[in-house]
Amino acid sequence: MKERDRMKFSEDADQYIWLEDLDDPRVREWVSERNRRVKRELGPFSEKLNPRIERYYSIPLVIALEASRKGVFTITREEGAYKIKLLALNGETRELVDSRDLGEDVLIKALFTDNKGGRFAISYSFGGSDKGFTDVIDTASGEVLDRLEDMVVYYIVWLGDDEYCYVRFFREGVTPDGVSAPASRVFLRKDGSEEMVFGKGIETSYLISLKEGGGGSKAMLNVSYGWSRSTVYAGDLRNPESWRVIFGGEDFRAFPIDFVGGDYLVASYDGEGLGRVVAVSEGGGARELLGEQKYPLIDATVAGEKIVANYLVDASSILKTFSLDGAEQDEFTFEAAGSVDFLRTAWGGCVFRYQSFTIPHRVYSLREGRLSILASEEVPGDFEVEESWVTSKDGTRIHAFSVKRRGAQPDKAYVFGYGGFSIPLTPRFSPFVIPFIEDGGVYVHTNLRGGVEYGEAWHRAGMRERKQNVFDDYASVLRDLKERGMRVVAFGRSNGGLLVGATMTQRPELLDGAVIGYPVLDMCRFHKLYVGKSWVPEYGDPDDQGDAAFLAQYSPYHHIRDDVSYPPIFMYTGIHDDRVHPGHAFKFAARLDDAGHEYLLRVEEMSGHAGATPKTKIDEESDLMAFVYKALGMAK
């Protein structure tokens, strides 16, 4: 990058950097004025949409599940709250926790349970913040046995009734061994006291995950740098000093599955990057158990005497079972394009959640070669899902789902994209788009490079200096819709907000509206805001001259032009978003102001990157969809 260009993208040239100070009264007033503008412009139609969106939010939704001998524990969103429920194999359900009993504006974000089901833990926060509380609770009595406060906890594994290990993510400050945040460490907690037992010396931006294996005898850990490189550690669960490297440590991703028959089973994404399963002996020898298949491996678990593996076929899940020596047995498909996740060993088989565009959830049990439904919800109505392909700028074929009312011939499209961090954009239930589909629109769900829908090579083709591929992929979908005579609104959140911001600044003629949610938009400073440094492996390092050059080429904040006509813009974020700093959206909006472009910016006081209460989400998404209806000429 030339010196002249470096100065253009430097902090000294950033006249809106003051908007990053969320405690500045000037910033609060600036935000309030923009919220008032949203209310004036969208209020009446938003109020009209609100009850329709609330109707679909009222359908119970299993958000997460964990299995134990006692049953399946779930986080379920229903009745305007988040609840912890225990679902027995016979279908009986017991409610254990209601988020409203924890306080106002509480979001339950994570759930953990011991093998017996006698203890479970929940992580929750106020206003959608990542940082919050973790309560360990007795299942029978509901008594809170222990509490971790003011921290981010990602994983818990029990060693006994009153002893457990947990992974703490340090968002700020330093770890006990003096490593600067962001960083992860494992702590052993017993009788209210704790000590750090794993992670000493692991550098900044490395993340740790923890699970048990072998029915509770082994600890299995994944230490990852970014989303394409990791190392697997394992050892005796009750002896952290025995935890050692068993696999990985090179330039590929891996994760532990289980410990069975004297071997650690590990998913490895070396080779073609589609995923294979390797058996690693306690002595260190490794052999391939399952080779790479035609489609990417997303997850796997050991269920009795079988391995159950989740593969993606054009971004939809299929399950395959294999014997423990790797022989393929059965394949299970689903009647609609959908996603399998939370694959957990249970009752001699496994349980999992299935979800599609119109099925909020099905909780399945797979035992003795048979699938059975333990719980299910469906959206009333007659919808159809179509799949299509377009060709990107470099000739790569890009897949997308389209959801519409059966028999409809839509001419208005709402197009969702993400394309990053090895996250596959599989079919998901989104309550707020159902009224739009009912009113004749088509919801388009894109599978762009940067995700892992077609393996690790697909991910790597959309990261770092190849990020422009993602924007080109998205533009190819939008261009195809426009050429078919449609009006189009682009929608993305987080990394997807970066996608829409870049597309808007590069190809504004393809859009009739842009919805940019909780976005990353300043690619020259993202690593200095909150936990942004942990994204350097995915995006590149702005402090590196070579990386800074390709980041500056597309950084949306730096590419707003005075002489370009942009489509209508709706941005939204939350003051409590402590993962992606709201300053990204604020500065982008201020630059639009400076260039004389109109936009709307909505800033929620009670939401963050982790989410919000159902009511807060309904209000936010009612405003969002009111903008979409107006941009597409559907507001009546």
- Catalytic positions, written as ranges: 494, 577, 609
DSSP β-ladder status, 383-391 and 370-377: unpaired
Token pair recorded at residue 576: 């409590």
The single-letter DSSP state of residue 467 is T
Sheet of 316-323, strands arranged across: 297-303, 306-313, 316-323, 328-332
435 contacts 443 by C-beta, under 8 angstroms: no
**What gap in Å lies between CA 29 and CA 21, rounded to an integer?**
12
How far apart (Å, rounded) are the C-alpha atoms in residues 165 and 190? 9
What is the C-alpha to C-alpha distance for residues 416 and 593, in angstroms, rounded to an integer?
A: 26
Cβ neighbours of residue 240 under 8 Å, at least 6 residues apart? 165, 186, 188, 197, 198, 219
Query: What is the rounded end-to-end Cα distance, in angstroms, of the chain?
Result: 50
Cβ atoms within 10 Å, residue 145: 14
DSSP 180: B
Starting at the edge strand that comes first in sequence, how are the strands of the sheet with 61-68 ordered? 61-68, 71-78, 81-87, 93-98
Name the nearest CA neighbour of 470 among 502, 494, 442, 493: 502
The amino acid that residue 217 corresponds to is S
Decide: 59 and 377 in contact? Cβ < 8 Å: yes
Count of beta carbons in the 10 Å neighbourhood of residue 160: 11
Q: Strand pairing of 442-447 and 412-416?
A: parallel
The amino acid occupying position 94 is R
The residue type of 218 is: K
Contact 273, 229 (CB under 8 A): no
Closest residue by Cα to residue 207 from 163, 175, 238: 175
Give the whole-angstrom CA distance, residue 315 versus residue 33: 42
User: Which stretches within 129-200 are classed as H helix?
Assistant: none
8 A C-beta contact, residue 34 and residue 589: yes
Report long-range pairs for 542-547 (Cβ below 8 Å, ≥24 apart): 545/1, 547/464, 547/465
What is the rounded CA–CA span in Å between residue 80 and residue 614?
Answer: 5
CA distance 270 to 251: 8
| Pairwise CA distance, residues 441 & 439, whole Å | 6
Pairing status of strand 569-574 against strand 600-604: parallel
Q: Name the packing angle between helices 614-631 and 25-57 (round to 10°).
A: 90
β-bridge partners, 137 = 120, 144
In the sheet with 370-377, reading across from the earlier edge strand, the strands are 338-346, 349-356, 361-367, 370-377
- Contact between 254 and 267 under an 8 Å Cβ cutoff? The reply is yes
